[in-house]
Structure 1
Amino acid sequence: MSRSTVLIADDNPENLTVLAELLCGHYQVLAANSGARALELATQQPAPDLILLDIMMPAMSGYEVLQRLRASPQAHDVPVIFITAMNAAEDEQRGLALGAVDYITKPLHPAIVLARVHTHLELKHARDLLRRDNAALEAEIARRMHESHVAQDVTIRALARLAETRDNETGNHILRTQEYVLTLARRAAALPGFAGELDAHNIGLIGKSALLHDIGKVGIPDHILLKPGKLTAEEWEVMKTHARLGADAIARAVADTHEPVPFLAYAREIALHHHERWDGSGYPDGLAGDAIPLAARLMALADVFDALISRRVYKPPMPFAQVREVMARERGRHFDPRLLDCLMDCFEAFCDIARRYPDGQACDAAG
């Protein structure tokens, strides 16, 4: 193990010699005969482990040297012991207030100097070890959190893909709608009415939750979900139950964890209410206006946009220009007017997302 480095700073050559001879048998010693030289040596790398600093020096006092050390990124953590003939209590109090770790008055007693130096070096080494251990622990926690988030994201995507396999026409629907929701939420976050709820953290949770918006479709019978044509009124009533089926499944998953899971709270809101309409004519609960959760209102716009541009067995994809017109007519009816305005502001971004995640021919005609 390398020896600790002690910097001694004193304008008196005799004092420098005495301290150097006392310490050199135990430590690597650097010597400075002025405050300026002390600062120069203290801010070099590697920095000294401890500084013994005289107070009464010409040009730059020990007090000023310490103040500059504490302001230096290279040396602000290096412990400083004042060594001085100034023995008044107020002098010691001032030195300690500036950040010195100890105060030794002259004339010096070798045993006391060695003991104080040894003690403060041990404390510094302990602090350095603790800092390294904390950094390693934080890195390990960050690594494990990252692994947990990756596992969580993979699980969510697997569940969303499970729902998708029941409805093989949706293709990249879940990826597109997630990107739509994130894009729209970030745009809406600039508006006063949404800024409080749509911070970066909540937007991330909503985006993650959006993948599960149609998870309830796993509970819809194949003869209805995969029917190659328009549903009857009775079949449509069954199809609409996917909203509550998905919300109930998510609620049970949350209950099984025995603790709150924030993104699943959003996921339940989205699954249950993304088919509600601003005017109250939607399902399953007929909610209207701001009674519809914000996450669900975002999802409604994303879901309808994607449905319109996508090919289905019962319809061709709709061109983007026509989609814009159709959705604009639903302002204040199907959609939150403020959110629809946001979508119109970033409509080209939605189109770019659709092109980036095509379903084979789903977006080919939507230009």
Structure 2
Amino acid sequence: MTTSHPLEQAVILVVDDVPENLTVLSTLLAPRYRVRVATSGARALDLATTGTPPDLVLLDVMMPGLDGYEVCARLKADARTRDVPVIFLTAKSDVEDEARGLDAGAVDYITKPISPPIVLARVRTHLALKASADFLRDKSAYLETEVARRARELTAIQDVTIHVLASLAETRDSDTGHHIRRTQHYVRALALRLRSRPRFAAYLTDRAIDMLFRSAPLHDIGKVGIPDRILLKPGRLTPDEFAIMKTHTTLGYQAIDRAETLLGIEVGFLSTAKEIALSHQEKWDGSGYPQGLAGEAIPISARLMALADVYDALSSRRVYRGAWTPEQVLAEIVSGSGTAFDPEVVEAFLEIRSEFAAIAETYADPDHHGLPA
């Protein structure tokens, strides 16, 4: 039993307005390929774009109505047939004619009267090239789809992991409620507002803002290491207790850094998470902790989180105090411009106060009804 070669299943569309030429070419090709014929350019386009496109087109140049150049141009302009190789068959043998045919998108140019061995060789060569190109194109499309699917899965796993870890920290403090969600959206709102400003434009790319949004929930992960007697104390902390509380920044940084080290590669959102965890308690005037950074030395990610964190902390109820009024929160943030906060970050906050209020309302705690704009 013999098995036919895959190329022998190929469909060849032969286009010529002279019936005798069609007969010659059909007789030559039919033993090896499936042959379809057209006696005009219009009919060729109809056959090529209806149903499954041919695998190759043998196209006469000189035809009434649509000539071969125009037919080829239309085939190449159509997404359904642009990858189908076209070989011109013509009695015109000038270099200019060949150049025009190749410029129109043809892959080859055979002059009449034809040589059967040359026609067969050229057809087989271009069918083989097309088969290879189709394979690579299909493989590439499959790989792109698979990479996109895996990327979506990885992103989902990362996001779930972040929220599980962040929620673990917050379960130790029943007052924080939906603090994770609110601060996450506050930070993104600030970033989107600041991205057009010269001081922030280079950093706040789409990717960086995505990293900020995904990393923000880990800003207080270090609180897992703070004793309950301090973390849950209803009153003011003593100096010694506050010194221990301040270590949550370094504890968080170290935990994330160890995770990244175990992975063996630098991960974008973890790098951003380390910045936020370590430096979100730094102040613009250098009076914050743990490193006493000041001004531009404070990472932008941490500057945004600093304001978002304070806004949410002041506007939410705590075991040792009630929520501040919107006016009190506003006054506190404005008074912190240039001392606690980057003045330009405060400006951005003032421009989008209504967005902050909407976020607070959307992610309100059960006994929290958001802040009016």
Q: TM-score, normalised by structure 2?
A: 0.90
Which structure 2 residue ranges, 5 or more long, are not aligned?
1-5
Partner residue of 1:319 out of 320, 325, 330: 325
* Identical pairs, percent: 55
The one-letter code of the counterpart of 2:288 is: G
Alpha-carbon distance between aligned partners in 1 of 2:175 and 2:51, rounded to the nearest angstrom: 63
Partner residue of 1:75 out of 81, 86, 95: 81
The one-letter code of the counterpart of 1:301 is: L
- Determine the structure 2 residue equivalent to 1:164: 170
Q: Does residue 236 of structure 2 align to residue 236 of structure 1?
A: no
Per-residue displacement from partner, 1:85-115 (whole Å, max 9, x unpaired)? 2334554444334432222222123343234
- Determine the structure 2 residue equivalent to 1:179: 185
Query: SS state of the match for residue 211, structure 1?
Result: helix
Per-residue displacement from partner, 1:288-330 (whole Å, max 9, x unpaired)? 2111110000101110111011110111112334322322222
Partner residue of 1:130 out of 136, 144, 148: 136
- Determine the structure 1 residue equivalent to 2:231: 225
Per-residue displacement from partner, 1:185-214 (whole Å, max 9, x unpaired)? 111112222111101101011111111100
Query: SS state of the match for residue 279, structure 1?
Result: coil
Alpha-carbon distance between aligned partners in 2 of 1:73 and 1:256, rounded to the nearest angstrom: 48
The one-letter code of the counterpart of 2:313 is: A
Q: CA deviation at 1:59?
A: 4.5
Tell me if the contact between 1:318 and 1:365 (Cα under 8 Å) persists in the aligned partners.
Answer: no
Distance 1:251 1:29, change over 3 A: same
Q: Which moved more, 1:78-87 or 1:12-21?
A: 12-21
Q: Count matched residues.
A: 366
Q: CA deviation at 1:346?
A: 1.4
The one-letter code of the counterpart of 2:93 is: N
RMSD: 2.2
Q: TM-score, normalised by structure 1?
A: 0.92
Q: CA deviation at 1:240?
A: 1.0
Q: CA deviation at 1:131?
A: 1.8
Alpha-carbon distance between aligned partners in 2 of 1:344 and 1:366, rounded to the nearest angstrom: 14
- Determine the structure 2 residue equivalent to 1:202: 208
Alpha-carbon distance between aligned partners in 2 of 1:356 and 1:311, rounded to the nearest angstrom: 17
Q: Does residue 108 of structure 2 align to residue 108 of structure 1?
A: no
Aligned pairs for 1:1-367 within 5 A? 3-89=9-95, 91-361=97-367, 363-364=368-369, 366-367=371-372
The one-letter code of the counterpart of 2:82 is: H
Which structure 1 residue ranges, 5 or more long, are not aligned?
none
Q: Which moved more, 1:141-150 or 1:82-91?
A: 82-91
The one-letter code of the counterpart of 1:105 is: T
The one-letter code of the counterpart of 1:234 is: D
The one-letter code of the counterpart of 1:195 is: A
Query: SS state of the match for residue 166, structure 1?
Result: coil
